[in-house]
Amino acid sequence: MSRPIYLDYSATTPVDPRVAKKMVPFLFERFGNPASRSHSFGWDAEEAVESARAQVAQLAGADPKEIVWTSGATESNNLAITGAARFHRDKGRHLITMTTEHKAVLDTMRHLEREGFTVTYLPPQPNGLLDPERFAAAFRPDTVLASVMHVNNEIGVIQDLAAIGGICRARGVLFHVDAAQATGKVAIDLESLPVDLMSFSAHKTYGPKGIGALYVRRKPRVRIEALIHGGGHERGMRSGTLATHQIVGMGEAFRIAREEMAVDHERARALRDKLLAALSALEETYVNGDLEARVPHNLNMSFNFVEGESLMMAMKDVAVSSGSACTSASLEPSYVLRALGRPDELAHSSIRFSVGRFTTEADIDAAAALVTRNVRKLRDLSPLWDMHLEGIDLSKVQWAAH
């Protein structure tokens, strides 16, 4: 049996073989604890960790001293938001974020609400982007932190960090950015960007799972309270023995990402454009999220009158994900697509395609053919498609909601 075509790079990426090769020696020969100061095993591991720290910093235009290792972007988001909010709780207890953030941000915010903080959740514009004016209007005298993601995981739209961060700076409010989906896809220069805290993940950028980092600005110095206490690693911000092999992997992955970003970007764009052109030949398809302010690796499309899970079932040889309720236990369609103000049925009909470093043109051709064939097949089965062909406006029909 041949393996399915992988078009779900936004979920995770395979580890680049060059990365895996770099990691292996640190599991055995070079196994030292980077915190061991008394022998060469420790010194060797420490050197590897610091070299990786520099590689991660370099991709983001940061100073290596501003990088704190974590277990991934979820931990980084928790540490940044909870850590900053708790540290500054006497200054104010109001936080601002967006309804389309990742759950690692939204659930952290919910948790802080239980600790007595108040959170404003701003909806995006219909294209997925945050309206800076609306953002500026959400500030209160007691606002201490705002968190807005760089690249959205479902629809791939890129928020204007310079504009949003500038608004925070002008009000002396900390700005956190979840950049898990951005690394290697868009250039990040923290030296010039008005960002105080930024979360990174390795496994979305051809590194291993289980490792991430948090950027904590030094000038002006950003203070956060630790969530994990222990040996005082990472200048007290995140205790725990460093996972040298994972860190080395993340460093190498980010080095490659920086060096190959331009090439990766052009390849992704060509593949995405090919897929978009093929699928746009079908009637009643809609791209979710802005097509310009967007990473080319992501194509999120709704195929009207076809339910997303049934479409995925039909194309089981292609690995993608859907905003359909049926793919989640909650029976709610994607909250990100709903936040765009699209009708629920378009959220149910959505498929996220995400391409990456190892996607080929042949993959795209095969996927496009499969989608096209099965959308037609499922529309032949769909009473909504019949009604559409008869000219019935489905939004005017009285449905028995269940």
Partner 1 sequence: MAYSDKVLDHYENPRNVGSFDKGDPSVGTGMVGAPACGDVMKLHIKVGEDGVIEEARFKTYGCGSAIASSSLVTEWLRGKTLAEARQIKNTDIAEELALPPVKIHCSVLAEDAIKAAITDYLAKRAAQ
Asked if 260 interacts with partner 1 (CB under 8 A), we say no
Among 299, 333, 356, 367, binds partner 1 (CB under 8 A): 333
Candidate list 35, 282, 287, 326, residue with the active-site label: 326
Among 78, 82, 310, 350, binds partner 1 (CB under 8 A): 310
Of 154 and 264, the one with the shorter C-beta distance to partner 1 is 154
Of 26 and 305, the one with the shorter C-beta distance to partner 1 is 305
Considering only the stretches 52-60, 119-127, 223-231, 308-316, report the one whose residues sit in contact with partner 1 under the rule CB under 8 A. Answer: 308-316
Total residues contacting partner 1 (rule CB under 8 A)?
30
Asked if 1 interacts with partner 1 (CB under 8 A), we say no
**Cα–Cα distance, 178 to 151 (Å, whole number):** 8
Closest approach of partner 1 to the CB of residue 221, in Å: 48
Under 8 Å between Cβ of 260 and 26: no
Closest approach of partner 1 to the CB of residue 31, in Å: 39
Residue 354's DSSP bridge partners are: 8, 298
Asked if 402 interacts with partner 1 (CB under 8 A), we say yes
DSSP state letters, 40-95: HHHHHHHHHHHHHHHHHHHHHT--GGGEEEESSHHHHHHHHHHHHHHHTTTT--EE
Find all residues with CB under 8 Å of 362, minimum gap 6, and list them: none
Asked if 325 interacts with partner 1 (CB under 8 A), we say yes
Of 99 and 382, the one with the shorter C-beta distance to partner 1 is 382
Asked if 272 interacts with partner 1 (CB under 8 A), we say no
* Secondary structure element (H or E) that encloses residue 146, with its range: strand 143-147
**Cα–Cα distance, 80 to 146 (Å, whole number):** 11
Based on the number of CB atoms within 10 Å of its own CB, is 330 exposed (0-12), middle (13-18) or buried (19 or more)? exposed
Among 2, 40, 114, 329, binds partner 1 (CB under 8 A): 329
Residue 189 has a CB neighbour count (10 Å cut-off) of: 12
Interface mask toward partner 1 for 276-305; x: CB under 8 A: -----------------------------x
**Cα–Cα distance, 257 to 89 (Å, whole number):** 37
Asked if 394 interacts with partner 1 (CB under 8 A), we say yes
Residues from 339 through 378 that contact partner 1 (CB under 8 A): 343-345, 348
Closest approach of partner 1 to the CB of residue 154, in Å: 17
- 326 given a catalytic annotation: yes
- On the CB side of 141, CA atoms within 13 Å amount to 0
Asked if 385 interacts with partner 1 (CB under 8 A), we say yes
Question: For the CA atoms of the chain, what is the radius of gyration?
Answer: 22
**Cα–Cα distance, 19 to 328 (Å, whole number):** 33
Pull the structure tokens for residue 357: 């470093």
**Residues with catalytic function:** 326
The residues that touch partner 1, with contacts defined as CB under 8 A, are 305-307, 309-310, 313-314, 324-327, 329, 331, 333, 343-345, 348, 380-386, 394, 399-402
